[in-house]
Amino acid sequence: MKIFLNSKKLVLIASLVFLVLVVVVGCGGGNSNQGADQSKVEQPAETPKDNFPEKNITWILPVGVGGGFDVMARTIQPYWEKHLPNNPSIVIRNMPGGEWSIGINEVFRADSDGYTVGFFNIPGNLTGQVTGRVNYDLEEITWLGIVGEVPYVIALSPRSKYKTLQDLQNATQVKIASEGLGSTAGLGVMIAAETMGINMINVPVAGSSEAITAAMRGDVDLVQYPIESTIEYFKSGDLIPLLVYMAERSPLLPDTPTIVEAGYEELLSVVQLTRIVGATPGIPKERVEILRKALEDAVNDPGYREAMGGRGITYGSPEAAARAIEDGLRLLEKYKASL
């Protein structure tokens, strides 16, 4: 009987040991699988590579076809495309009107994906911001770079009865064509007329091409635009240069006196066109750098420089563009009462 009880105890002990081993092994296996599952969850997902640009880019020009901005954009367009990855097309879209504000608003309203860029006219485009006539802030634009800085020239219509600066100052009314205060041309001619004592009436136009045509026909007495936009008309006799906004005479117009010679040196800091390319605010940094690098390479491309004939080509960094905006805003505050 004693042996029987011992046998029963042995069987019971063996059974208990077996159950304990099953539980331990089972729990160990469960923990191992759970750790594997956690390992899978905790690993960060790979970020898909941004293959920007993957579609066409729209370049908004807030001016009509044929003027200086339009010509420069269409000249640089193929070179900017050339230096962008993936061979995208840059589609130029002219949106004149509202003293540049229609096109600028389009850039602001676009998605922040880098597929919409714009062309800006500084300091002229800052006028609406200083006077509160627009709802955007150009300091928020993603600046890509300066592509041109160009001196201006006062150009007379050959059909005008006014032939000298004194004639203009003595006139009861002088008709001038410009896009209005939202452009550097319109802003500059207004400040210049006020400074030099010329009684001006502005005839609004969509761009320099339309303004120059108006002067050639005799619809207005003068226009004030960059040398690059007017030089061919001076050569043909369709326009007559009066004064150039430079400290020294231009090699392109050696017989034309400067605004300094006329006694108005202070106008040099006002009537100066800076052409800047910018994009919608909030674009991812990686995409911004792609656009900036390609634009810089395009401006420095020998083919582009040859196509432009060296006229008005100046590359400036995005930081220089931002400073131009800051300087322009400070400058226009001085003339705010006249704007």
Residue boundaries of the structural domains of the chain: 57-149+273-338, 151-269
Strand ranges in the chain using DSSP code E only, listed in sequence order: 57-61, 90-94, 116-122, 142-156, 174-178, 200-204, 222-226, 240-244, 272-279
Please, which contacts does 317-322 make with residues 24 or more away whose CB atoms are closer than 8 Å? 317/145, 317/146, 318/143, 318/144, 318/145, 318/292, 320/145, 320/146, 321/143, 321/144, 321/145, 321/146, 321/276, 321/278, 322/139, 322/143
Q: pLDDT digit of tens for each residue in the chain (339 aa)?
A: 444 444 444 444 444 444 434 444 444 444 444 444 443 444 444 546 789 999 999 999 999 999 889 999 999 999 999 999 999 999 999 999 999 999 999 999 999 999 999 999 999 999 999 999 999 999 999 999 999 988 999 999 999 999 999 999 999 999 999 999 888 889 999 999 999 999 999 999 988 999 999 999 999 999 999 998 899 999 999 999 999 999 999 989 999 999 999 999 989 878 888 999 999 999 999 999 999 999 999 999 999 999 998 777 889 999 999 999 998 998 898 888 878
Same fold, 57-149+273-338 and 151-269: yes
In CATH terms, the fold of domain 57-149+273-338 is D-Maltodextrin-Binding Protein; domain 2 (3.40.190)
The CATH classification number of 151-269 equals 3.40.190.10
Predicted TM-score of the model (pTM): 0.74
